Every structure is written in structure tokens, then in C-alpha cells.
Chains A and B, each alone.
Chain A
Amino acid sequence: MAANNYYDPADLRKFGNITEWSKELGEKFFDYYGKVFEEGALTAREKALIALAVAHTEQCPYCIDAYTKDSLQRGVTKEEMMEAIHVGAAIKSGATLAHGVMMMNKVNKLEM
């Protein structure tokens, strides 16, 4: 942690260090992580865009940094990146609003 900030961009480079304090679990995680992003039924490019959208809904600065760069490396355009983020935002707000039904149910149950 930097002196005056919780987040330091340079810490992203140290992500791999988490293995130092728990070798087996760290290595299992990174094996899994690497495998997930390989070309499969989805292309690595499609996966980068999903990761970018999720990085925003999770509001993880490290992930936003990493997957913006990753998307650029894969030739993803700015328009595609922004659309992906809107998908994340729509699901996030949709999820909030869909819970409104729960509120409505509760009100209907409690009120005479």
C-alpha cells in the first residue's frame, strides 16, 4: 500500500506475489486464471471484453487498467469497449431495479 493511497498502480505488477504466502493456492489460482482466458468456445478477444465489463461492475482499478490494455492489444476499438461497459452498467442497474419487485411484494404484503 502506498503511503497516502489504498491503491497504487505499481501494485498491479506485484499481483503474482500473492503466491509467496500461499504457494499451492496461489499457483492453483493462476493456473485456473490463465486457462480461463485461453481461446476456447469464446475467442480471447471476446473474453477480454467480458473481463473489461466485469472489471467496471466490480469497480476494480487493477482490472480496469489490465483489461483496457488487454483489449487494446487485441485490437478492440473504443466504441466496442464503451458498449461492453454499458452492458455491465445495464445489468448492474437492471439487477437493482429488478429487486424493486421484492420491495413491491413486501409493501403489498404489509399494507392493508
Chain B
Amino acid sequence: MLKEKKKKQQSLHKRDSEYAVANKQLEKLSNGIFASGELPTFSEKIKETGQFPLRPNKLEILQINVGYMCNQVCEHCHVDAGPDRKEIMTRKTMMQCLDVIRNTGAHTLDLTGGAPEMNPDFRWFVDEASKAGIKDFIVRSNLTIIRANKKYYDLPDFFKSHNVHVVSSMPHWTRGKTDKQRGEGVFDLSIRALQELNAVGYGMPDSDLRLDLVYNPSGAYLPGDQASMEKDFKKALLEDFGIRFHNLFAITNLPVARFLDYLIASENYEDYMYQLVEAYNPAAVKNVMCRNTISISWDGYLYDCDFNQMLELKVASKIQHISEYNEDILNDRNIIISQHCYGCTAGAGSSCQGSVTE
């Protein structure tokens, strides 16, 4: 039991797990029910509606992953992030990103990780990036980092001073469900962090300081309707803790890294893939996030999305690194797809900004 618990506090990489290897994940996603024809592959499915090959629309979002290090080891994490991950973006790569941020046509900059705040150059990078005049500057904060160590206590003020849009994960409004997915004690720390963000003005009804929450199901099922979930979250968090926030993004867990490992170990993999395929919504393909996003990894490589980054599927373009970035050439590419993509087209669709259809 203790051994199990310790294992859960480590990334798949640290555990030398089979599914720490991107190729193994891709093999799993292409074999079995998809190779036998029991379920259609994603490319076969989008061919039905003439949406293959998937091509980018106008670039709107630059998503930069500044490192896989995190203070949490969430069971569903597609990044396989954790305290034992050492991949961290250097200041040199950040400078290359800044050149791109200053010249991009994208209106949104989205910093993610790991816990982006754990990158030693995080504050410098935010300082510099916020001067570039990007319309929407998002930092994906796991909340507990704000209470993890004294040096992070002032993060709410820091975010405020740079008018950062904070997007934070919160799997449920109850302690039990949250801690099961994200680790013991996470719920109480998250509540405290949300209260502190509220205290400086984040998430208040008429405030420009945007605070949105991300909901991922804590298990092998799809998220419910985003609007209903938002109503339930708002009511419970306000009644129980006096917490306010703006929007809730309901995000589907994609079968990548730790969530894939969990699906296989719990014998839910096939059922989950069936659910995703059955919930396939061609309308969601139209607005799927890889069509308006470029994902940049800690070492400066370019991907269609954060999931493809974890599967080590670099963009199918002659431009593959931030050092040679060229938006026009990059936008003229086919998006790389596999069966994990069903996660973004199920039901109302799913993206880092939540549902993609009305």
C-alpha cells in the first residue's frame, strides 16, 4: 500500500513505466480496437466529413510550456509532470520566444507547464512578455503552488501587476474528489489560493482580473455540460468558501501519458475509447484548438498542441524550432493526428479554453 502510494508520487518517467515512452503510447493508440477495424481511426472519421487533412486556420494562440517540473503529481496529467521532472526552459529559449511574441499575429499567449511558476526565470519572462502588448496573457497555475512555499506567496499580486489571466485546475468542489485526483491536501491549498486571488480582485464579477477554472473528470468518463457544471461549481464554491471565479472550462482527459497509463491499468481503456468515438462531433473538428494554436516545448520545438508535444510529434513543417520561427510557413502545414485527437472532438468538443461548440 505504501509502495503504491509512493509510486503515485512519481512521474511515469521516474518509474521507468512503459508508457513514459511516446512511441509506446502511439503504438497503443494505433493497435488493438483501431487496428482491427472495430473502431474507426481518427483520420478515417474526419474523412467522412471531408475534414482530412486537418489544416490550421488563423493563428490565435501561442502556448508555451516552460517546463515539466511541478509540485503536484496529478493522476490524470498528460504532461507526466512532477517534482522529479527536470525539463525546464532556459532564458535563451525564452528570449527566442520573446522575439516571436513581439511579432506574432496571435492575440493570446498561454503559459503552461508543469507548474510554470517553478521555472527560475518565470517572473523575468512574464515581465518581458507582458510588455509585448498581447491582448490575453494566460498563466495556467495549479493553485497549490501559491501556497507551496513562502517565495510564491506574493504570486496573486505579481499576476495582478502584470494583468495576467489566471486559469486554474479544480476537478471538483468537494475535498474527496479533488484530493483523489490531484493528491492529498490539494483541495484545502487550492481553496486558500483561490481566496487569496479573490482578495486581490481576481474572479470578482466586474473585475478585469480574469480567473477561470478548469474542470477535468476524475476518472474514465467524459465531462458533463460545461454550463451546468459551471453553475454547480459557482454555487458550491460561493456557499461553502465565499469563492468567486469567472468561467469554468470543462476539458476532456485525453488518453496520453498518465491518463493513458491509468486507463490501461484500470481496464477502462477500450470503454473510454468507445465513449470518445461515440461522442465524436464533426462540428467540434471545425474549432479544434490545434487549428488556431502553436505549442512550444521547454526546449523550443514546435507542436500542433500540448498533447502532440507529449507524444513527441513535432509539426509537419520545415520550421520545427522557435529559433527559425516563421508564421506563414508554419501555418501552411497538415496537422498531425492520431486516436488521442478523439478527446478534443467528443461532445461539445474540448480545448484548453473549454468547449468549442455552443
Q: Interface on A for B, CB 8 Å cutoff?
A: 13, 39, 43-45, 69, 72-75, 77-78
Contacts and interface: CB of A to CB of B under 8 A. Distances in A.
Contacts of A74: 224-225, 228-229
A55 B223 CA distance: 22
A57 B93 CA distance: 61
Contact of B228 (A13, A45, A69, A72): A45
Contacts of B278: 13
A16 B225 CA distance: 22
A13 B278 CA distance: 9
A39 B97 CA distance: 46
A45 B232 contact: yes
B221 A69 contact: yes
A43 B232 CA distance: 11
The secondary structure that dominates the A interface is: helix
B172 A72 contact: no
A73 B177 contact: no
A75 B176 contact: no
A73 B176 contact: no
B176 A77 contact: yes
Contact of A77 (B177, B219, B222, B274): B177
Contacts of B176: 77-78
Report the contact-size class of chain B (Cβ under 8 Å from the partner): 10 to 19
B223 A73 contact: yes
A69 B221 CA distance: 7
Interface-centre pick from A13, A45, A69, A72 (highest chain B CB count, 10 A): A72
B114 interface: no
A75 to B, nearest CB: 6
B76 to A, nearest CB: 14
Nearest to A69: B221
Contacts of B217: 72-73
21 contacts: A13-B278, A39-B228, A44-B224, A44-B228, A45-B228, A45-B232, A69-B221, A72-B217, A72-B219, A72-B221, A73-B221, A73-B224, A74-B224, A74-B225, A74-B228, A74-B229, A75-B232, A77-B174, A77-B176, A77-B177, A78-B176
Contacts of B233: 75
Contacts of B224: 44-45, 73-75
Contacts of A13: 274, 278
Contacts of B225: 44, 74
Interface string B143-186: 00000000000000000000000000000111011000000000
Given A13-B274, A13-B278, A75-B173, 18 more contacts: A44-B224, A45-B224, A45-B232, A72-B217, A72-B221, A73-B221, A73-B222, A73-B223, A73-B224, A74-B224, A74-B225, A74-B228, A74-B229, A75-B224, A75-B232, A77-B172, A77-B176, A77-B177
Interface in B209-230: 217, 219, 221-225, 228-229
A75 B229 contact: yes
